[in-house]
Structure 1
Amino acid sequence: MRGVVAVALAGLTLCSLSLAACAPKLPKGVDDANLTLAVGRAIGGPNTCVEIGNDKGQRVWRGGGYIGCARPLPACDGTTTTADAALKAAVGKPAHFASCPSGSDVPGATVGWAMGPVPTGAGQPDRHLTYVAMMEGERALPGVEIQDRVEHAFKKAGL
């Protein structure tokens, strides 16, 4: 019985490693920990989500918890969206930002969005990456400020 369990565990480990190897990743030379730290310092908070995706809209990095990134919020155009959906919709489009009331029960709460191509740093090749950044709450930054801060954090992290 132990042999069967050991073989099953080895198979699961190999399967997860294979899937991880095929999953989209940050570009070579970009350190996940440095990116997390830079973005966290720039716009971090419990109601913040930043996602970076490849040219197919597949997420390669997420800063922020699943709950904050997955909940539907006003897109400031009369619709609602999630960070995942906004990331896919932003691929290939110019950068833009928006801010509006979040519609939460908290008076004065707003949501700010910034999205677009990840800027290419000096001397770096175009990596064809797109980002979406969102903040929600009473102290949420306006979209234009989110855009400025997160793009600065990307450069600081080596993107």
Structure 2
Amino acid sequence: MSSPPRPDDAHPYLRAATAGVRHHARALARPTPPDPVDRVHLDVLHAHLTALHRFLDQLAETTRPPYPGAGRHLATAHTRLWQATAEVHTAFHLLPATSADSTECRPERLPEGPPVLTICQRHLAASHIIRRKTTPADLNRPHTTPCAR
């Protein structure tokens, strides 16, 4: 007799991504002070957030027709996630450049281009999605959604 499948077994990649985020959150909570965040960490976090942003966009689109209320909430989450992604992008540019970002950077050796351009290209691509689906008023609206329970 087999046990019923766990709900998160249907989405192993999401579970793995969540475990990675928890691992890094625990590392920050250690008693020794962590190193300050650097551009590499924010670049990776930005990549994670933009991938999650695209995924949430797809979930909202497929959920909205049969369940409009749930679809609206997912669309709101999509907007809020974009706001977080934009803030991470801004923080990236406020940190000092590392040697990889400096003038010594050899972009011809990096197939994806210089690191500072990679995050900007990813951010620009994600901004096209959010601008297609939301208005400036949506982006500036405070979060007031009450719990549906």
| TM-score normalised by structure 2 residue count | 0.24
Structure in which a larger fraction of residues adopt strand = 1
Higher helix residue share: 2
